[in-house]
A and B are shown apart, each in its own frame.
Chain A
Amino acid sequence: MNYQTVVGLEVHVELATKTKIFCGCTTEFGGEPNTHVCPVCSGMPGVLPVLNKKVVEYAVRAGLALNCDITRVNKFDRKNYFYPDLPKAYQVSQLYLPICRNGKVEIEVDGVKKYIGIHEIHMEEDAGKLVHDPWDDCTLVDYNRCGVPLLEIVSEPDFRSADEVTAYLTKLRDILMYLGVSDCKMQEGSMRADVNISVMPVGSSKLGTRTELKNMNSFKAIYRAINYESARQTELLENGGKVIQETRRWDANKDATFAMRSKENAQDYRYFPEPDLLPVEISEEWIENTKNTMPELPEAKRARYVSEYGLSEYDAGVLTSDRDIARVFEGVVAKGGSPREACNMVTGEMMKLMSETSTLPEELNIDAGKIAALIKMVADGKINRNTAKDVFAEVFRYGADPVRYVEENGLGMLNDISLVESTIDDVIASNPKSIEDYKNGKEKAFGFLVGQTMKTLNGRADPQTVNDILKKKLQ
């Protein structure tokens, strides 16, 4: 029998708010242990939560971008369990009425498009951090991350391969970063996923028993773990075994999953409505406002670049692959650079330099106005293309002003036709052999003569002009 892999994802994304979900402590990453903490987020007796409005705004924005229904009156619930990283011994989350439901995301794998359903998105708080202290054989508890706002995005079990999962995660990350709701930095744990994996006979509609991998924080690990786990389950079933519903751990070094020591009893979280927080009511007006102020998403942007700027699908795809690269491109166009030239400059020189200097898109600090000025100089014939490349590097690396840089380094093209003519005359005079060859029909010799002229003029002449004059003189 052939088996089909089935995957569902619960993706946790840290929101890019300045403060925690229920108190004014900073969400800044790092910091000495327990220094981004107050009585509220450390669960002191008597404290109460007050909801950060930004969290709701971001959740609505994400929900709309992922085509969800927004729950007009949504509520928080308490999820009760004991663990040292959870100071109140309950996590404030949303079970009964999550803020977003019934969404979908289109993905494409090998040219085949399909929708992945979003079951729900809910708001919740992050837990603290536990560090094992081997010297003392104890655990140290740091509440700095406690109360950092999270969105949990729960997909339907719609994935049928690891490639689909990767495509979805990439798309989800792009969208969330474009929306500005999260920086999705996996290495800082601001995007992580619980992965549910099962297999079922091809053609069946009945899902198999699933296993869960918690807190996976790299696309690569998720990809490998899905393939490993689905192979493991298939082998188990083919040999007449049974998959046990359990949480497993991915070991990247061994490239395999392992069963975690199972808890004696299944968790009973005793969810109930959080009495300390009021229901969140989202008005029609709120939703309309959010829609109107929603940043353009990658897909729409790509389509617009093609239709409005006449760029190729490919170029549009490269430009929109990252919000910050698209930002630079649009900045150049806004400053009057032609879209075609702006695209060439950004996808060519800029991306080359980014990779040479290991610059991340979010670190880009280049003045779009300067790029536009550079493009204008080329268009106006003030410099030629090769010079433009060198100047771009100066702009990129040192923030040079292109106009002044060209001026100060004498890189501008010669407007003095008489100098070009006299130079050409010199070149003709000192290369009789080449003239001879040209007249005998050797086209190559013409190129040589142009090159010689350009070289003598330090590349500052317009090659076309040199071409024209030389041709005339040799007639």
Chain B
Amino acid sequence: MSFNNKTALELGQMIKNREISSVELTRAFIDNIEKTDKDINAFITVDAEGALKTAEDVQARIDAGEHLSALAGVPMAIKDNICTKGMLTSCGSKMLYNFKPPYNATVADRLYSAGAVVLGKLNMDEFAMGGSTETSYFGAARNPWDTERVTGGSSGGSAASVASGEAVYSLGSDTGGSIRQPCSFCGVSGIKPTYGAVSRYGLVAFASSLDQIGPIGRDIKDCAQVLSIISGHDAKDSTSIKTASLDFGGCFEGDIKGMTIGVPVNYFGDGLDEDVKEPVLKAIDTFKSLGANITELEIKITDYAIPTYYVLACAEASSNLSRYDGIKYGYRRKDCENLLDVYYTSRSDAFGMEVKRRIMLGSFVLSSGYYDAYYNKALKVRRLIKNSFDDAFEKCDMIISPVAPTVAYKIGENSSDPLKMYLGDIYTVSVNLAGIPGVSIPCGFGANNMPVGMQLIGKSFSEPKLVKAAAAFQNATDFHKMQNKYMKGGRA
């Protein structure tokens, strides 16, 4: 039987119906990882033993009549910057090559309580800084649609593991597009939730005011299901909003007649590849045919989103990454003569160039004399960006846009020019700056038959509405069901 074309909700139902056991399913996925991950490199850690043990426990509880969640017993995997107790959490960095957290992230706790079977930890750009996983200390993950190409990033392992059938669903994190862009590159679905919807406790911080954990899955319904498990207030995270978890009841089937979708025309101008533009424009037509009103608008201010983002993200990162000093955990150069040696050599040895570059840029914009001109300026522009989105949502329920200007590029092709790499985030970063949710779902294929995704952006806590639109689209199209050779090949 092939499980690879099944969604998490379907597999959860099969387990519930006793058509298959969680242990069987988990074993099949472990076998698949063994076969596939040589090519894909989506995993940094595979915890076969732990996963099978969890599967046994969960199965026993299901057999005892316990209802854990709709996804109980379904195998999944977690990005390697989310703390898992006793399990390596490296952030894709030499700095944390041996770090085993003594505690679980809140999302990990919630998943375990919901009966999730954690297969292991997923590859990513070092400390989530990058858009391709090429900055990972463990080597780049490879795109299942073409292993010469990048997966996107930073949650590249999270997207590739789902796209290749190595995991049914996964968790990623998104600071400037890190869930949405790899979903687009790998042809899977993902949600970057509203800032504050999901607890960040246990997510190793890159840029604290922008980071959010979110789900990646085969379709939007799986993502919504996962999000309903991991979202909701957490007393350990001051920035988690005091609301109940997100409720997606009635979002999967309903129609979208009368919904207004805004098209920011300035998102479709220069810099967007034709082979990406075309499928997104077609998606707009699909929405129209499903009964949505389409309205054109402009959000010019987002042209300033990338410089704003890099100033703020790097500033926060420079501070967040200062704790890696070779004293408490992680890498330390042996035989250091003095304290300064410990600092300088450990950090210089263990951080990659992209991380160093961002730390230095962040230190610069915060340093004495430059704070107002750079950092504070960016904080002000951030408000202008947020205001522009608020204005836009006066006119429409959501905004549709491309996710990335290109399809997945070849490994090594872009990594030499950081500025060019940063420009790849042009459609995604403003969403993080405004703290609003964004959904990324497949909407076609571009050059070299590589997947293309589209993005739906809504106002804070409008995830149910976004999911409803995305589900309507996926109910009407098959892009999310297309299979690459790994997906097809995976048999159990």
Seen from chain A, the residues whose Cβ lies within 8 Å of a Cβ on chain B are 39, 42-51, 78, 80, 82, 84, 87-90, 139, 141, 268, 270-272, 275-278
Q: Contact at B319–A87, with CB atoms within 8 Å?
A: no
Residues in chain A near residue B201, CB distance under 8 A: 46-48
With contacts A270-B318, A272-B315, A272-B319 known, is A48 near B367, CB below 8 A? Answer: no
Q: Does B236 contact A (CB under 8 A)?
A: yes
Can you list 22 A-B contacts with CB-CB less than 8 angstroms, sorted by A residue number? A39-B103, A43-B323, A44-B328, A46-B89, A46-B105, A46-B205, A48-B200, A48-B237, A49-B238, A50-B236, A80-B318, A89-B325, A268-B368, A270-B368, A272-B319, A272-B366, A272-B371, A272-B375, A275-B239, A275-B316, A276-B208, A276-B239
Residues in chain A near residue B319, CB distance under 8 A: 78, 80, 89-90, 270, 272
Q: Closest 5 A-B residue pairs measured CB to CB?
A: A89-B322, A270-B366, A275-B209, A275-B208, A45-B204
Segment at the interface with A among B66-74, B94-102, B384-392, B425-433 = B94-102
Seen from chain B, the residues whose Cβ lies within 8 Å of a Cβ on chain A are 81-83, 89, 91, 96, 99, 101-103, 105, 200-205, 207-209, 235-239, 315-316, 318-319, 322-325, 327-329, 339, 343, 363, 366-368, 371, 375
Q: Contact at A278–B238, with CB atoms within 8 Å?
A: yes
Q: Of A80, A82, A87, A270, which contacts B328 at CB under 8 A?
A: A87
Task: Give Cα A46 to B320, complex, Å.
Answer: 9
Task: Give Cα A275 to B203, complex, Å.
Answer: 14
Residues in chain B near residue A88, CB distance under 8 A: 322-323
Q: Which residue of B lies closest to A40 (CB)?
A: B236
Q: In the complex, how many residue pairs between chain A and chain B have their CB atoms under 8 Å apart?
A: 101
Known interface pairs A46-B205, A50-B235, A276-B205; 9 further A-B residue pairs with C-beta atoms within 8 A, sorted by A's residue number: A42-B328, A43-B328, A44-B101, A46-B203, A82-B322, A270-B319, A270-B367, A272-B366, A272-B371
Q: Contact at A50–B238, with CB atoms within 8 Å?
A: yes
Q: Which residue of A lies closest to B347 (CB)?
A: A82
With contacts A82-B322, A84-B327, A272-B315 known, is A45 near B83, CB below 8 A? Answer: yes
Residues in chain B near residue A271, CB distance under 8 A: 366, 371
Q: Contact at A46–B322, with CB atoms within 8 Å?
A: no
Task: Give Cα A39 to B105, complex, Å.
Answer: 11
Residues in chain A near residue B207, CB distance under 8 A: 275
Question: Which residue, A46, A84, A141, has most C-beta atoms of chain B within 10 A?
Answer: A46
Task: Give Cα A89 to B320, complex, Å.
Answer: 8
Minimum CB–CB distance for A144 against chain B, Å: 15
Residues in chain B near residue A47, CB distance under 8 A: 201-202
Q: Contact at B238–A277, with CB atoms within 8 Å?
A: yes
Q: Which residue of B lies closest to A267 (CB)?
A: B368
Minimum CB–CB distance for A274 against chain B, Å: 8
Residues in chain B near residue A89, CB distance under 8 A: 319, 322-323, 325
Q: Of B209, B236, B363, B366, which contacts A48 at CB under 8 A?
A: B236
Q: Which residue of B lies closest to A45 (CB)?
A: B204
With contacts A88-B323, A277-B238, A278-B238 known, is A46 near B316, CB below 8 A? Answer: no
Task: Give Cα A46 to B325, complex, Å.
Answer: 15
Task: Give Cα A45 to B324, complex, Å.
Answer: 9
Minimum CB–CB distance for A187 against chain B, Å: 29
Residues in chain A near residue B329, CB distance under 8 A: 44-45
Task: Give Cα A56 to B203, complex, Å.
Answer: 27
Q: Contact at A82–B205, with CB atoms within 8 Å?
A: no
Q: Contact at A44–B102, with CB atoms within 8 Å?
A: yes
Task: Give Cα A343 to B239, complex, Å.
Answer: 54
Residues in chain B near residue A49, CB distance under 8 A: 238
Q: Contact at A270–B363, with CB atoms within 8 Å?
A: yes
Residues in chain B near residue A42, CB distance under 8 A: 328
Task: Give Cα A44 to B89, complex, Å.
Answer: 12
Task: Give Cα A44 to B84, complex, Å.
Answer: 13
With contacts A39-B102, A84-B327 known, is A46 near B204, CB below 8 A? Answer: yes
Residues in chain A near residue B103, CB distance under 8 A: 39, 44
Q: Which residue of A lies closest to B362 (CB)?
A: A270
Residues in chain A near residue B83, CB distance under 8 A: 44-46
Residues in chain A near residue B102, CB distance under 8 A: 39, 44
Q: Which residue of A lies closest to B366 (CB)?
A: A270
Task: Give Cα A271 to B371, complex, Å.
Answer: 9
Q: Which residue of B lies closest to A89 (CB)?
A: B322
Residues in chain A near residue B96, CB distance under 8 A: 45
Residues in chain A near residue B316, CB distance under 8 A: 272, 275
Q: Which residue of A lies closest to B210 (CB)?
A: A275
Residues in chain A near residue B89, CB distance under 8 A: 45-46
Minimum CB–CB distance for A393 against chain B, Å: 53
Residues in chain A near residue B236, CB distance under 8 A: 48, 50
Task: Give Cα A278 to B242, complex, Å.
Answer: 13
Residues in chain A near residue B239, CB distance under 8 A: 48, 275-276, 278
Residues in chain B near residue A80, CB distance under 8 A: 318-319, 322, 366
Task: Give Cα A271 to B367, complex, Å.
Answer: 8
Residues in chain A near residue B323, CB distance under 8 A: 43, 45, 87-89
Q: Which residue of A lies closest to B196 (CB)?
A: A278
Task: Give Cα A139 to B327, complex, Å.
Answer: 11
Residues in chain B near residue A82, CB distance under 8 A: 322, 325, 343
Q: Which residue of B lies closest to A273 (CB)?
A: B379
Minimum CB–CB distance for A471 against chain B, Å: 81
Task: Give Cα A319 to B381, complex, Å.
Answer: 59
Task: Give Cα A123 to B217, complex, Å.
Answer: 44
Q: Which residue of B lies closest to A138 (CB)?
A: B339
Residues in chain A near residue B99, CB distance under 8 A: 45
Task: Give Cα A45 to B207, complex, Å.
Answer: 13
